[in-house]
Amino acid sequence: MATIKRTKFKLLPGQLLEMFYWLKLIRAFDERLSILVRQGKVRSGVYTGIGQEAIIVGTAFGLRKEDYICPLHRDLGSFLMKGVEARVMMSQMFGKVTGLSKGRDSALHSGVNELGIFGNTSMLGSNLPVAAGLALTFRMEGTDNVVIAYFGEGASNTGDFHEALNFAGVHRLPVVFVCENNQYAYSVPVEKSMAIDDVADRAASYGFPGVAINGNDVLAVYQSTQGALARARAGEGPTLIECKTYRWHGHSEHDKAFYRTDEELAMWKSRDPIPTFTTYLKGLRVLTDENLREIEARVTKTIDDAVEFAVSAPDPMPDEAVRDLYTGDPEP
């Protein structure tokens, strides 16, 4: 079986700082959402990815506009990285007309074709066959664009997972399957939902490589993704990258997560991807006190602006509830 070449993909200082910015921004976006839920300003449907940010940043960094991503519910940050404005994404969470859904749903349930973002339903894993379909069209057109499809270890137990990865394997489609293994499917720990240790092992059934990596190390995620993307762009087929990680919050913001221990959470918090990367960048002297302050200020400004925009944006008109069901429907 093929293996991933552990090629070192060089990053320039400016790119490293950009990665750092995304990590900080996505963390701040989710943290603010968490506060807004507690304040009763955002109604519900908030599934933060706090603690898992290195996966989105390491995989989505440097993607082409034409490349497609098929995010899961904790990946709102990937929408931002692919070009959706923070204002629009925050509006989406507030159910405002300025959101991607015009208030019809929140979070990941909307996409943008022009930016290569597919918005999935709440049926976890059901984005994977769609990802295969998107990748199939890249193959039909002979381009070297790729699809990155995200899923949790929980969704790797669905039929759609099997059907999609099998099809992608048969046709050697240009798709990278990224598993965010955060140890729990809502409350059910991984050992109660799988009889194997690594989701990555499942790739063998579909005839392509699978690797399990430290999902809290943004550079490790980036390196593995670049290897997988190179394979996909060269027509060598899919790769499954399992990123081991942990979600700090509950499944959703209303979930107190009593099913896990404080010690376990503390252990994973000690592996927070952001301080690790901060120390690394400071060691390289890429990150200085000065540009750190500048980045943090930019993050705060972006989030403040997004919230302010979303709060003051209009609610949808009631007739929006029955529009846009069909293409011929009159526009409001």
Query: H-helix or E-strand containing 259?
Result: none
Minimum distance from CB of 152 to other proteins (Å)?
A: 17
- Which tokens hold the place of 134? 């998107």
Nearer to other proteins, 61 or 118 (CB): 118
Residue 203's nearest CA partner among 178, 225, 183 is 178
Residue 94: DSSP 8-state: H
Minimum distance from CB of 323 to other proteins (Å)?
A: 7
- Which tokens hold the place of 327? 């293409």
Nearer to other proteins, 118 or 309 (CB): 118
Minimum distance from CB of 140 to other proteins (Å)?
A: 6
Residue 131 one-letter amino acid: A
Query: Are 131 and 118 in contact, with CB atoms under 8 Å apart?
Result: yes
Nearer to other proteins, 264 or 329 (CB): 329
Query: Are 133 and 83 in contact, with CB atoms under 8 Å apart?
Result: no
Residue 243's nearest CA partner among 29, 59, 116 is 59
Minimum distance from CB of 67 to other proteins (Å)?
A: 12
Residues making contact with other proteins (CB under 8 A): 99-102, 104-105, 109-113, 118-123, 126, 128-137, 140, 159-160, 163-164, 166-167, 170, 323-329, 331
Q: Say if residue 312 is exposed, middle or buried (CB neighbours under 10 Å; 0-12, 13-18, 19+).
A: exposed
% helix / strand / coil in the chain, to the nearest 5? 50, 10, 40
Minimum distance from CB of 293 to other proteins (Å)?
A: 37
Nearer to other proteins, 23 or 134 (CB): 134
Residue 107's nearest CA partner among 205, 58, 37 is 37
Nearer to other proteins, 22 or 118 (CB): 118
Minimum distance from CB of 139 to other proteins (Å)?
A: 8
Nearer to other proteins, 115 or 257 (CB): 115
- Which tokens hold the place of 48? 């933060």
| SS3 state of residue 73 | coil
Minimum distance from CB of 91 to other proteins (Å)?
A: 11
DSSP letters for 148-181 = EEEEETTGGGSHHHHHHHHHHHHTT-SEEEEEEE
Nearer to other proteins, 50 or 134 (CB): 134
Nearer to other proteins, 297 or 321 (CB): 321
Minimum distance from CB of 324 to other proteins (Å)?
A: 4
Apex 246 CA angle, 17 and 169, nearest 5: 85
Nearer to other proteins, 160 or 198 (CB): 160
CA dist 202 and 223 (Å) reads: 21
Minimum distance from CB of 164 to other proteins (Å)?
A: 6
Query: Are 165 and 241 in contact, with CB atoms under 8 Å apart?
Result: no
Residue 104: DSSP 8-state: S
